[in-house]
Structure 1
Amino acid sequence: MTTLQLLMLLASGFFAFKIFQHVQTLQEPEEKRDNISNTNQGEQKTAKTFSPFDPEALIEKADEAYEQKDYQKALALLIEANAKEPNNSDTLFKLGYISQQIDDNEEALNYYKEALEVDKNNEFIHNSMASVYRARGEYASAKLHLEASLALDDANPITYYNFGNLLVDMKHIDEAKGMYKKALELDGDFTEAREELEKL
């Protein structure tokens, strides 16, 4: 047998093994098959049936994808995590945030609303909803959510900064100055707040 034939034989064996491994991952464990066969005929299989990853692992992978700026992959992983474990406010918040990053404000707002239903006292959800409403020019709704965020935590400089930006858009310059000053009182190194204040 020549060297070339030997290499071809090894390569064929390797690919056959890889195909076998892949087929094994597609087959459901016997116990899971039994459980599914015992369910009602009309009941559909859940996402858990098809994926070996638990929600935590999916969220970790989504975070890694987000750090690499692969937003579509991060979104797909989070959608799967949400299908496996619905009504998790952190997952819904991340879905909203990433949707916002890809300029899908409508979808972002839907996810934020779902997250807020689960966790009504989350200042970050209120802050994020306010930014979407501001981007859409819905200033009254944005203001309501920033006020709700401050009611939950009145020591977050980012909320005051965001409120200042909203008030500038609303042409309430004196109030905006007050918000930027408050942000700087809480965080003297808040460069963006200082820059915006200096513009006014």
Structure 2
Amino acid sequence: MTVFQLLMLGASAFFAYKIFEHIQTLQNPEEQIDDSNQNETKSAEAFSPFDPETLVEKADVAFEEKDFQRALALLSEADAKDQQNSEILFKIGYILQQTNDNDEALKYYKQALEVDKDNEFIHNSIASIYRANGEFISAKMHFHASIDIDDSNAITYYNFGNLLVDMKHLQEAKDMYEKALEINPDFSEAKEELEKL
């Protein structure tokens, strides 16, 4: 073999190995998440050549296809390449919440909130986890923060109403459902909950 052929063979082996490494990260998203938490200095070069925006787009497609593991793997890779991006952190938290890993989801939501304190959706998501965990005061605090940021989101008032029902504050819950319907008169879920009170 010529020197050129040996160089080409070596380059081919290197790229084959890099592709193998990337496939491994897609097949084991839990290990990748654990890995990224333990070794935050891991070089982004160990991942695919895609930029964070492309990875997020691919993750969105995987999420729509209900392939949560692949979506998490792609978002984890995007997070390694673009750390402290609130959108990426929020999306990781949201997928973890959909898979009922609320504790891990809450960690990502809190990281996202540190980066973007004025994001009503992050406050809403944190409030929903606190509500599910029975931490009503914390949930209430985050619903108030969400309303302070945007007082025209009917879903926030609806979710806040649900929390207030759990807390047995029925008149306040009615007020929240009515506010949701004032913003969106076609909000059928809010109508149903209001009729129950």
- Is residue 141 from structure 1 mapped to residue 138 from structure 2 by the alignment? yes
What residue in structure 2 maps to residue 97 of structure 1? 94
1:25 to 1, 15, 25: 15
Deviations 1:19-50 (A, max 9, x none): x997463367xxxxxxxxxxxxxxx6512343
Q: Distance in 2 between matches of 1:166 and 1:89?
A: 26
**Native 8 Å contact 2:47 2:77 kept in 1:** no
Structure 2 gaps, min length 5:
1-9, 19-40
Partner of 1:169: 166
**Could you tell me which residue of structure 2 aligns to residue 113 of structure 1?**
110
Which structure is richer in relative contact order (CA contacts within 8 A, separation 6 or more)?
Answer: 2
Q: Name the CA distance, whole Å, in 1 between partners of 2:135 and 2:42.
A: 41
**Identity of aligned pairs, percent?**
66
Count of residue pairs brought into register by the alignment: 166
| Larger of the two Rg values belongs to structure | 1
Instruction: Give the alignment's TM-score, normalised by structure 2.
Output: 0.80
Q: Which deviations, in whole Å up to 9, do the C-alpha atoms of 1:141-170 show, x marking residues without a partner?
A: 000000000011111101100100000000
Change (3 A) 1:53 1:180: same
* 1:6-45 paired onto structure 2 within 5 Å: 23=13, 25-26=15-16
**In the alignment, which of 119, 122, 127 is matched to residue 122 of structure 1?**
119
What amino acid does structure 2 have at the position aligned with 1:162? N
Equivalent AA in structure 1 for residue 68 of structure 2: Y
User: Is the alpha carbon distance of 1:45 and 1:163 closer, same or farther for their aligned partners in structure 2, counting shifts above 3 Å?
Assistant: closer
Aligned residue in 2 for 1:155: 152
| Cα drift, residue 199 of structure 1 | 1.1
**Partner amino acid, structure 1, of 2:16:** L
Q: Deviations over 1:149-200 (max 9, x none)?
A: 0011111101100100000000001110110000000001111111111111
Given the two structures, how large is their TM-score scaled by the length of structure 1? 0.79
Question: Unpaired runs of 5+ in structure 1?
Answer: 1-19, 29-43
